[in-house]
Amino acid sequence: MSDLTTRGGASAPDHGHGHGDVPADDLARPLYEGPGALPAADIPHRPRRSDFDPKAARRAERQVSALFLLSMLMVVLFVVAYVAIDPYADVYIPMFGVVGFQTFALGLTFGLGVFCIGAGAIQWAKKLMPDVEVVQERHSLASTSHEDVEAAEQYERGKEESGFAQYKIIRRTLIAALALFPIPLVVMLRDLWSPKNGSFGPSPVELLSTTAWVEDMPIVTDGTYVKIRPEDVPVGGLVSALPENIMEIQEAEHNLNARGKAAIILVRMEPDEIRAQQGDGWDYQGILAYSKICTHVGCPIALYEHRTHHLLCPCHQSTFDLADAGNVIFGPAARRMPQLRIGVNAEGYLVAKAPFAEPIGPSFWERG
Amino acid sequence: MSTTEKVGESVATYVDQRVGSNRFLGRSLKKVFPDHWSFMLGEIALYSFIIVLLTGVFLTLFYKPSMVEVVYDGSYVPLKGVMMSEAYASTLDISFDVRGGLLIRQMHHWAALLFIAAMSVHMFRVFFTGAFRKPREFNWVIGISLITLGLGAGFSGYSLPDDLLSGTGLQIARGIVQAIPIVGTWGAFLLFDGEFPGTEFISRLYGVHILLIPGLILALVTVHLMMVWTQKHTQFPGPGRTNDNVVGYPLMPIYMAKAGGFFFVVFGVTALIGGLVSINPIWIFGPYTPDQVGAGSQPDWYIGWLDGALRIFPNIETVLFGYTISWNIFIPSVIVPGIVFTVAALYPFLEAWVTGDKRDHNLLNRPRNAPTRTGIGVMAITFYFLLFIGGGNDIIAITFDLSINAIIWFLRIAVIVLPPIAFLVTRRICIGLQRRDREKMLHGYESGRILRLPHGEFIEVHEPLSLKERAVLESAIESYRAPLPAPEKVDANGVANKHYRRDMIRYKLSRWFYADDIVPPTRQEIEAGQAHVSHDAALEAPLHEYDEDETVMVPFHGGVLHTAGEPATNREQLEERGGNL
């Protein structure tokens, strides 16, 4: 029975030890007594059915092994499902809708196979293994005063023998050397933005401040890349557009960077509905071109409410008034949407009349 | 001894002679762990992490972390012939052309969500029960680091498929980096190898997602568990449970079967969900292109609160000496999470300093017995949920036909006003519960039975508390602590207190923390009260004289019916089993 009261190490809890700076009242006051401090043997225990009914115990035994058997069966079915089910067939499952038949079958068989092992083990523990609570004493984690002294002595000995205190110049140069040694690791991060053909090219500020738009650059639709005539843009409509040479740039640069900056939207309203623009006559017969990239954190915007002329960002709900120079009317964005000055060329197609007058997209430190 | 056992023994000896494992086994197989359902939360986190690792390894066999544009030629017809990154194309292949690939991908995603959810709930369990107190402060800090890493793991993984939704997430992340004063622009260019989206970021993120973060998590989880092992698990108050012992079941066989079995249960349930419930159907979103976005863009749930902060913050931006400071992005995305995680990590040290409590705590607090802490926790949860609502404000506006502007304005105000209210209300509720506990300890239960005594007096019979309830309620005595005494400017010897101002702040904080707590009755008062209650109950005894039923009330486990003659304690149960565990 002694095994019951303390399993492993029967030493009494050591209140006074390892609490160097504890106020006296904390030590004087016992932490816990009363019913909480019952000897383990007297802890109430309610017997389970399987403890006194051999029939119940045998039933539990059958349940556990049945679960393990079911698990094996599921693994076999898993392999069957992997080999036999058409990977492209769908199946309707009530509540879950249409799902891939094979994915469903594999998940079901694998899931149940694994689940049954766990369920069996837990059932075994709960019904057949002893459920008598046992008690172990805790021991203070702090070192004994003897060990404290030993540690201090060994530290002192090491300090003496190395002469760390004595050789002042060694100590200082070592500290300085250790302080400098991470520098190469940081410096080498510079080429995370790597040079192309041996040159770093334009600075971040230049890159963030320029787009593919230049004077007389024809505007083409996004997706089909056809040039746009003014009459192609209906009043109240919104057209996503790009510069004509966007695919050439993409093929030359092998990335989508130019697209990410040059994307614009064209909207058309009755000329008398336009209350303000970012420059006089930047529209063409009521057609306005604005950047598509939100000035908050850069999501592309295409939610346009044509009656109010509001443009709403789907990411963080910044709202811009395109009839009023693209100014922010609500939400977290702090800057207006940059406007692109447009006109038509000799062939009657919409073109940019000038590059963007200000950087598009999210703010940055050097933007000013 | 069977042949298998003989082989096992010789293997054990062979290994022991080389690493000394038997010494460890002898001590460890009998190690006791306390039992409570809430202790499973951390287990769920651990197991879902293992599932994420296993399924993740499978995914690496097929996924290509490359942003090179290719023409899709897989079996998903709607995207045939579309230009897309190799990352997206290979994710489509995993979903449609690798048998079981979609199951593993969905299991990976579900298990990742479960991992972060379980860690978060586990953290709140630890917080509200005071399990972070001495000697477990370091493990709390490790836990907060694990949650932070979990968010990083989730976000980096979410971004790898390079679909339209995840690319939008990256665009937002880049916008946030760019908003960091001074270093932001360069930081963004270094991370992305130039402009957005570039061609390198997915492969860089891949290294972070499959090596750096999981490596750190694995290392920290190991330390976390080793510390739980060495310090021994905390336990809730109950019969036989003190601050200096552990009452529970031994590792072998109970916990091996229960915890090991539970791993399979979590694994199995994840597989069932992965097979049944679609998550992140990237084929619907389409490949990423920086000039398109879907309406109702939502991050995974754990990023929701950060996205919410970004959504509701007012649009403040300053230009100072020609430099732009985007407060509207920098504060909600960098400063707010920075403060949240720092304060969370430091909380155990702050509380210990304020309360001046230097004792070891192995017995858990009931949340009501630490009203101020519980209030702080509920305040944090309120703050979190308001931001979380902010993260879904567009969905809420559409679902409930509300004005999005009204929701944002409500949240801007509520996020400042509601958390303190939640704090005060919670604290009051806790103190009310303390008061009721005190009543119960002194006067037992109201049974609702009215008894007429022989001399005509009517009394309501009060019933004594069961042993278990007494142990639980009386833990208030251990939890209670008086506020620190007021510091003195000059001590008894006339020496001025140099730290008077600091001590004064601490004294005031300590009063704020403790002063309103209900003082629990002393042990003598409880004994006297319970004895009085038993006396009441004894007056009823004549009524039971004619009871033929063998069943009597035995006061334990909340007073369950107990058949006379059955074992009622551990000792009797053991004797019945032949005294053999």
Q: Kindly report the nearest CA distance between residue A123 and chain B, in angstroms.
A: 8
Question: From the list B268, B296, B471, which residue is nearest A36 (CB)?
Answer: B471
Q: Is the pLDDT of residue A80 over 80?
A: yes
- pLDDT tens, residue by residue, B196-244: 999 999 999 999 999 999 999 999 999 999 999 999 999 999 888 888 8
Q: Is B83 helix (H, G, I), strand (E, B) or coil?
A: strand
Could you give the C-alpha distances from B165 to B182, B279, B289, B294, in angstroms and in order? 29, 13, 10, 7
In total, the C-beta contacts within 8 angstroms joining chain A to chain B are 433
Q: Kindly report the nearest CA distance between residue A359 and chain B, in angstroms.
A: 13
B394·A314 Cβ contact <8 A: yes
Could you give the C-alpha distances from A189 to A89, A180, A192, B262, in angstroms and in order? 49, 16, 5, 45
Q: Is the pLDDT of residue A29 over 50?
A: no
Q: Kindly report the nearest CA distance between residue B455 and chain A, in angstroms.
A: 36
pLDDT given at position A322? 96
Which residues are B318's β-sheet partners? B325
Do B23 and B140 share a structural domain? no
- The number of folded domains in chain B is 3
Record the tokens describing residue B227, joined without a space: 């510390």
Record the tokens describing residue B200, joined without a space: 């390198």
B293·A87 Cβ contact <8 A: no
pLDDT given at position B286? 93
Kindly give the interhelix angle for B371-391 and B101-128, rounded to the nearest 10 degrees. 150
Unique residue bearing structure tokens 């000035």: A295
Do B217 and B284 share a structural domain? yes
The Cα B131–Cα B125 span in angstroms is: 8
How many CA atoms are closer than 13 Å to the CA of A326, on its beta-carbon side?
Answer: 28
Q: Are strands A264-268 and A303-305 parallel, antiparallel or unpaired?
A: unpaired
Amino acid symbol at A100:
G
pLDDT given at position A50? 85
Do B261 and B123 share a structural domain? yes
Buried b / exposed e over A305-322, threshold 16 CB at 10 Å, is eeeebbbbbbbbbbbbbb
Do B113 and B21 share a structural domain? no
Do B50 and B7 share a structural domain? no
Do B1 and B108 share a structural domain? no
**CA dihedral of A353, A355, A361, A363, whole degrees rounded to 10:** -130
Q: Kindly report the nearest CA distance between residue B144 and chain A, in angstroms.
A: 23
Residue A296 has φ and ψ, to the nearest 5°, of -80, -80
Q: Is the pLDDT of residue A202 over 50?
A: yes
Q: Kindly report the nearest CA distance between residue A175 and chain B, in angstroms.
A: 28
pLDDT given at position A237? 87
A207·B315 Cβ contact <8 A: no
Cβ contacts of B338 within 8 Å, gap of 6 or more: none
Do B228 and B102 share a structural domain? yes
- pLDDT tens, residue by residue, A248-299: 999 998 999 999 999 999 999 998 999 999 999 999 999 999 999 999 999 9
Q: Which residues of chain B have pLDDT under 70?
A: 296, 541-566, 577-581
B198·A255 Cβ contact <8 A: yes
Residues of B with CB below 8 A from A197's CB? Answer: none
pLDDT given at position A208? 95
Angle, alpha carbons B571-B575-B579 (nearest 5°): 100
User: Does some domain include residue B477?
Assistant: no
Residues of A with CB below 8 A from B241's CB? Answer: 36
B393·A317 Cβ contact <8 A: yes
Do B207 and B59 share a structural domain? yes
Could you give the C-alpha distances from B326 to A22, B189, B332, B416, in angstroms and in order? 48, 18, 10, 21
User: Does some domain include residue B448?
Assistant: no
Which of B272, B290, B308 terminates a domain? The answer is B290
User: Does some domain include residue B354?
Assistant: no
Looking at beta carbons, which pairs linking A60-69 to residues 24 or more positions away fall under 8 Å? A60/A123, A60/A124, A60/A127, A60/A128, A61/A128, A63/A120, A63/A123, A63/A127, A64/A120, A64/A121, A64/A123, A64/A124, A64/A127, A64/A128, A65/A120, A67/A116, A67/A117, A67/A119, A67/A120, A67/A123, A68/A116, A68/A117, A68/A120
Question: From the list B32, B292, B573, which residue is nearest A7 (CB)?
Answer: B32
Residues of B with CB below 8 A from A54's CB? Answer: none
Q: Is the pLDDT of residue A15 over 80?
A: no
- Max CA-CA distance within chain B? 98
Do B183 and B279 share a structural domain? yes
Q: What number of residues does chain A have? A: 368
Buried b / exposed e over B292-320, threshold 16 CB at 10 Å, is bbeeebbbbebbbbbbbbbbbbebebeee
pLDDT given at position B453? 83
The answer to whether the beta carbons of residues A29 and B475 sit under 8 Å apart is no
The interface predicted TM-score of the complex, written ipTM, equals 0.90
- Dihedral angle sign, alpha carbons of residues B155, B161, B166, B172: positive
Question: From the list B195, B239, B269, which residue is nearest A207 (CB)?
Answer: B195
The DSSP-derived string for A6-32 is -SS--PPP-TTSS-TT--HHHHHS-S-
The answer to whether the beta carbons of residues A107 and A74 sit under 8 Å apart is no
- Which of A1, A2, A32, A80 to mutate to probe the B interface, most B CBs <10 Å? A32
- pLDDT tens, residue by residue, B283-301: 999 999 999 887 767 889 9
Q: Are strands A310-312 and A319-321 parallel, antiparallel or unpaired?
A: antiparallel
Angle, alpha carbons B389-B391-B392 (nearest 5°): 70
- Which of B105, B244, B404, B576 to mutate to probe the A interface, most A CBs <10 Å? B244
Residues of B with CB below 8 A from A242's CB? Answer: 291
The Cα B502–Cα B511 span in angstroms is: 14
Do B120 and B24 share a structural domain? no
B570·A107 Cβ contact <8 A: no
Question: pLDDT tier at A132 (50, 70, 90 boundaries)?
Answer: confident
How far apart are the two ends of chain B, measured CA to CA in Å?
Answer: 20
Range of the domain at B576: 547-581
Cβ contacts of B51 within 8 Å, gap of 6 or more: B107, B108, B111, B266, B267, B270
Q: Is the pLDDT of residue A32 over 80?
A: no
**CA dihedral of B155, B270, B106, B396, whole degrees rounded to 10:** -60
pLDDT given at position A35? 63
Q: Are strands A319-321 and B323-325 parallel, antiparallel or unpaired?
A: unpaired
- pLDDT tens, residue by residue, A206-259: 999 999 999 999 999 998 999 999 999 999 889 999 999 999 999 998 999 999
Q: Is A118 helix (H, G, I), strand (E, B) or coil?
A: helix
User: Does some domain include residue B364?
Assistant: no
pLDDT given at position A21? 45
DSSP class of residue A217 equals: P
Do B156 and B256 share a structural domain? yes
What CATH number has the domain bearing residue B78? 1.20.810.10
Do B103 and B3 share a structural domain? no
pLDDT given at position B514? 92
User: Does some domain include residue B375?
Assistant: no
The Cα B115–Cα B218 span in angstroms is: 13
Unique residue bearing structure tokens 């029939």: A55
The answer to whether the beta carbons of residues A317 and A330 sit under 8 Å apart is yes
pLDDT given at position A286? 93
Question: pLDDT tier at A30 (50, 70, 90 boundaries)?
Answer: very low
The answer to whether the beta carbons of residues A284 and A344 sit under 8 Å apart is yes
Asked which of A18-22, A48-52, B234-238, B252-256 is least confident by mean pLDDT, the reply is: A18-22
Question: pLDDT tier at A311 (50, 70, 90 boundaries)?
Answer: very high
User: Does some domain include residue B101?
Assistant: yes
B249·A99 Cβ contact <8 A: no
